[in-house]
């Protein structure tokens, strides 16, 4: 699919804001949501499908429906569960699965305008974080596609013991306001000067940006996330944030 480029107004705003921030901070922070924001797919759920299809973990009957039902009751518990089902396996093995799931999904529809922003920020010494409600391990291979490392990904995970994944929650649940909490925990309380996301799950993250917020959308009108992307686009208008529809 051909995605629309950012307008010259958006790029001018990004460059002007970055120049302004760098005058007082040599290592500012920028935060991006992952799925739907950096690529037009959901790597977290793609990884879960890969685990189901390849019988990699112990699961209840009708695992996808079980997950969807959990989300209707408490999304935070559902997202944590996707990490907990990896219990008993080595973190190295789980990361190997995640890399294989990404390879199966090739080519990943990376949103190239977002890649350009990340490349610009990297060249200027910006600290870049991907903050996702997906499990961290599923998103790490996507970060690699953008020239980032595992440490640049803040996501849901569980503790490991001697390299083995456990059921015990590690850190915060990076969902809605938890995205901001998890980011600030990582940065020592330093807020991002820039934040970008695509759904209302990213609303608080965009609110946390000190200088520039960018709401993006790539979902078609019949997509299940179109409504929440549309709501964030409306919030962007209300707050005077930058916004963009890729399609």
pLDDT tens for 10-23 read 999 999 999 999 99
Q: How far apart are CA 182 and CA 189, in angstroms?
A: 10
Summarised one tens digit per residue, pLDDT across range 36-77 is 999 999 999 999 999 999 999 999 999 999 999 999 999 999
Predicted local distance difference test score (pLDDT) of residue 36:
97
Q: What pLDDT was estimated at residue 1? A: 78
Whether the model pTM is above 0.75: yes
pLDDT of residue 8: 98
Q: What's the confidence (pLDDT) of residue 49?
A: 97
User: Which whole number is the average pLDDT over 124-147?
Assistant: 98
CA-CA distance, 185 to 200, in Å (whole number)?
Answer: 22
pLDDT exceeds 90 at position 106: no
All domains of the chain in start order, with CATH = 8-245 (3.40.50.1000)
The pLDDT of residue 229 is above 90: yes
Distance (Å, whole) CA 239 – CA 83: 35
Phi, psi values for residue 191, rounded to 5° = -80, 155
> Could you read off the pLDDT of 196-215 as tens digits, one per residue?
999 999 999 999 999 999 99
Task: Name which of 25-29, 36-40, 62-66, 102-106 the model is least confident about.
Answer: 102-106
What percentage of the chain reaches a pLDDT higher than 70? 100
């Amino acid at each position: 699919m051909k995605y629309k480029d950012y307008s010259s107004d958006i790029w001018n705003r990004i460059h002007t804001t970055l120049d302004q921030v760098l005058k007082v901070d040599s290592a500012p922070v920028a935060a991006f949501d992952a799925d739907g924001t950096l690529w037009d797919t959901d790597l977290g759920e793609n990884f879960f499908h890969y685990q189901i299809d390849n019988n990699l973990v112990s699961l209840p009957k009708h695992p996808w429906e079980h997950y969807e039902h959990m989300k209707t009751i408490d999304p935070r518990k559902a997202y944590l569960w996707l990490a907990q089902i990896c219990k008993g396996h080595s973190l190295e093995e789980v990361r190997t699965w995640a890399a294989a799931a990404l390879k199966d999904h090739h080519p990943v529809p990376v949103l190239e305008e977002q890649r350009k922003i990340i490349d610009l920020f990297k060249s200027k010494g910006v600290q870049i974080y991907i903050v996702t409600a997906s499990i961290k391990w599923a998103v790490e291979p996507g970060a690699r596609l953008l020239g980032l490392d595992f440490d640049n990904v803040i996501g849901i995970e569980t503790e490991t013991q001697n390299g083995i994944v456990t059921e015990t929650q590690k850190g915060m649940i990076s969902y809605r306001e938890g995205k901001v909490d998890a980011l600030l925990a990582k940065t020592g309380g330093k807020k991002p000067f820039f934040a970008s996301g695509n759904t209302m799950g990213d609303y608080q993250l965009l609110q946390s940006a000190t200088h520039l917020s960018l709401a993006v959308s790539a979902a078609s009108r019949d997509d299940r996330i179109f409504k929440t992307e549309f709501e964030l686009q409306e919030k962007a208008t209300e707050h005077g944030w930058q916004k963009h529809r890729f399609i």
